[in-house]
Amino acid sequence: DLAKESAKLQSLQTKQQLGVQALSIANQSTSSILSLFR
């Protein structure tokens, strides 16, 4: 049914956004850690 499908889609999009945020945070922290060793 339509409500279920839209809810699934929303949760997928939210998970994707969270994954992107986590990746960018990880990249930032990695680069800052690397800059400490320079």
The tens-digit pLDDT sequence of the chain (38 residues) is 999 999 999 999 999 999 999 999 999 998 888 888 87
pLDDT at 7: 96
Give the position of tokens 């929303």.
10
pTM: 0.62
Cα 38 to chain centroid distance, Å, stands at 28
CA separation for the pair 30, 20 (Å, rounded): 15
- Write the DSSP string, 21-36: HHHHHHHHHHHHHHHH
pLDDT of residue 38: 77
